Amino acid sequence: MRLYQVFHELPQRQGNLASVTTSAAAHDRRANTELPTCVATTSGNARFHVSCEQHNREIQCCGHGLLATAHELLDTQALTRAELGNGVWAQREPNPTGGSTLWLYLPELIAATTRIPAWTDTLARDSSNRAIAPKAAAATANADGYLLLELPAEHDLGELSVDIETISHHTRRAVLLWQSDSANPTVVRVRYFAPQYGNDEDGATGSVLRVLIPHLHTLSNIAVFDVIQCSPTGGRMTARKTDDSVAISGNIRLVDDKDLPTPWQA
């Protein structure tokens, strides 16, 4: 089992961690369940089944874990493309520097514009304890899916305090707060909360981009975005809209858990 740091931009943004193994027998459930663990088993012909779990609970779609798994598989098995199951695939593509970039392709999920829930008006507060109400909302059809809340661009998203208990009390949906950069519409800032599923705030999440990016594309007709996660640890991703998928990339590095700073320790 190997540990990867994904969607980082060191030193200021730490990204997120995931453990990856290509052997189900090597997956020790006694290991640190605070971190997502992805197990990849081969189906032959560059096809794999990948399952991810955290807190001893299966994760429907773990973006950074799947990207780390793709990195592991492509590197160790000398592949340029791999099918990861459930319509998810990854491949290395040439980049402008002459090297290659690993892209993870996730099937898109559609969020429809909806009325702003009244309980979200006081969900976020600034340093003066003033409530910052969302300016727009969108949601996936499933009650346990995603709620996207757009906040005004003039507020520092990373400095806002968010009432986690309010989310748990009012919805089964994970909540994404987002805002566009007023000077550059291709830059979007996000924070992601899923306390109902044991994840009060995610450090850097890729899976929600399969919902956010199609929504942003509908609003702006922009296809490629620089996504900055304004969580306490921070993260950075690149995402682009394709015909029926969202492609995600970001920095990945293999790490030794004993070298990680204290906040990552079990």
Domain of 68, CATH number, reads: 3.10.310.10
Residues 65 and 154 both lie in one domain: no
Average pLDDT, the chain: 91
Q: Is residue 97 part of a domain?
A: yes
Residues 120 and 239 both lie in one domain: yes
- Total domain count for the chain? 2
Per-residue pLDDT at 187 exceeds 90: yes
Residues 117 and 91 both lie in one domain: no
pLDDT digits (tens, 9 = 90+) for 197-256: 888 999 999 999 999 999 999 999 999 999 999 999 999 999 999 999 999 999 999 997
Q: Which helix (H) or strand (E) holds 32?
A: none
Residues 78 and 44 both lie in one domain: yes
Q: Is residue 48 part of a domain?
A: yes
| pLDDT on residue 124 | 98
Residues 253 and 182 both lie in one domain: no
Burial-class residue 243 by CB neighbours within 10 Å (0-12, 13-18, 19+).
exposed
Residues 134 and 252 both lie in one domain: no
Q: Is residue 182 part of a domain?
A: yes
Structural domain harbouring 22: 2-106+248-258
Q: Is residue 263 part of a domain?
A: no
Tokens of 15: 């990204």
